[in-house]
Structure 1
Amino acid sequence: MRITAITLGITALAAGAALADPVEPMSVKYDDYGAIETSLSGMPGDAVEGKKVMSSRGLGNCVACHEVSALADVPFQGEIGPSLDGAGDRWNEAELRGIVADAKKTYDGTMMPSFYKTSGYIRPGNAFTGKAGTEPLPPLLTAQQIEDVVAFLLTLKD
């Protein structure tokens, strides 16, 4: 009986680890409108961590371009992008995931960076400085950080 319980526990841990394998940036499946239906990390997002990613200059720094009233303690919020107040009412989880991962799939010509992309960049740097990075580049955010940002955005209701 005890061996069966241990075996079941190990099997459950292995299954959980398999679910936690992140989708690689080049393997992400976007729908026709740029939404991503399934989690990139296989794990639920953490809204508290998402708030940190959005407000940290070293991570997502979303407030550099967007105003978010729930982040009123973060100074110098941007006005380039739309206000994210009510984002959880305007977009569903799959749409938010797609927009955060690569907004250009939803909004052609947007200035928003692609946070979960590793190649396909327009890189004029070599023509000017010779110092442009070579692809594939690391994504700006991890799969889990994308899920965390989405979890936080879903809390922003009107």
Structure 2
Amino acid sequence: MKRTTITLFALLAGLGMANAETVAPADVTYEDGAIAQSLTGVAGNPTEGAKVISTKSLGNCVACHEITDLADVPFHGEVGPLLDGAGDRWSEAELRGIVANAKMMFEGSMMPSFYKTDGFIRLGNAYTGKAHEGEVEPLLTAQQIEDVVAYLMTLQ
């Protein structure tokens, strides 16, 4: 009986995680640039976050930021601040807001908005005739944002 109860509890807990709703980019609530609640309801994975940060086809954060922990990744940038100690400088909510849309906290930031799908100016047709059609997907998924935040929180 005890084993059945534990199994049932684990199954129900797993279903709760599977049913966690992802917050859509347009529904994100910023408070002074920070996002207090998880975008997915699922804890971020720091290992996956490091992959997003260091992979050119994903976040490619090292193109602008230097991170000593990722020294084996070539060509770190110097445009953005050094991310060593990011977990000490900013709270989890602040980091989530910065990664999702840094312009909400730092108005003049050059950092891309990784979790934004509207408000873009599309001049492509005037120059190339090849402007993007239809809805825009965010650069990173909600879970990738959570993974990056989890990794940045380890940098203390």
Using the size of structure 1 for normalisation, the TM-score is 0.90
Q: Does 1:156 align with 2:155?
A: yes
Deviates most, 95-104 or 9-18: 9-18
1:15-94 aligned at under 5 Å gives the runs: 15-19=16-20, 21-31=21-31, 33-94=32-93
| Structure 2 portions without partners, runs of 5+ | none
Looking at structure 2, the residues matched to 108 and 101 of structure 1 have their Cα atoms a distance apart, in angstroms, of 14
What is residue 132 of structure 2 aligned with on the other side? 133
Partner SS for 1:153: helix
Deviations 1:11-31 (A, max 9, x none): 433322222x21111111111
Looking at structure 2, the residues matched to 63 and 82 of structure 1 have their Cα atoms a distance apart, in angstroms, of 11
Looking at structure 2, the residues matched to 105 and 138 of structure 1 have their Cα atoms a distance apart, in angstroms, of 19
Change (3 A) 1:10 1:75: closer
Runs of 4+ in 1 over 4 A off after TM superposition: 6-10
What is residue 13 of structure 1 aligned with on the other side? 14
Change (3 A) 1:12 1:130: same
Change (3 A) 1:13 1:46: closer
Give the Å deviation of 1:79.
0.7
Using the size of structure 2 for normalisation, the TM-score is 0.91
Give the Å deviation of 1:42.
1.0
Give the Å deviation of 1:133.
1.2
Alpha-carbon RMSD: 1.7
Partner SS for 2:19: helix
